[in-house]
């Protein structure tokens, strides 16, 4: 049975979030399906343009949280 891979599957694969068994199946299919490989290449090009997302909060955000956490319960309400 030939499995159809969705755009979501390709995105999960591109971000290394696809389960190992499915990733292996997709890799096998990529070797023989140039259209699917082209779709993956397009996703990977977009990834490189977008770059790595920053997961750290801005310094100002951290400062506000630290200031607010120092207030007593009475000051908050």
Give the chain's domain count: 1
Q: Is 1 part of a structural domain of the chain?
A: no
Whether residue 9 contacts residue 18, with contact meaning beta carbons closer than 8 Å, is answered with yes
Domain carrying residue 58: 7-76
Q: Is 34 part of a structural domain of the chain?
A: yes
pLDDT band at 75 (very low <50, low <70, confident <90, very high): low
Q: Is 28 part of a structural domain of the chain?
A: yes
Q: Is 60 part of a structural domain of the chain?
A: yes
Tell me how far CA of residue 28 lies from CA of 1, 2, 13, 14, in angstroms: 14, 11, 13, 15
Over residues 2-23, mean pLDDT? 92
CA separation for the pair 75, 68 (Å, rounded): 9
Q: Is 2 part of a structural domain of the chain?
A: no
Task: Give the pTM.
Answer: 0.64
Q: Is 63 part of a structural domain of the chain?
A: yes
pLDDT tens for 20-56 read 999 999 999 999 999 999 999 999 999 998 887 677 8
Residue count of the chain, please give it: 77
């Amino acid at each position: 049975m030939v499995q159809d891979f969705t755009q979501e599957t390709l995105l999960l694969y591109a971000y290394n979030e696809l389960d190992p068994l499915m990733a292996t199946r997709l890799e096998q299919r990529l070797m023989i399906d140039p259209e699917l490989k082209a779709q993956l290449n397009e996703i990977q090009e977009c990834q490189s343009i977008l770059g790595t997302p920053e997961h750290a909060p801005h310094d100002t955000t951290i400062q506000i949280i630290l200031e607010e956490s120092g207030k007593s319960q009475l000051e908050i309400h």
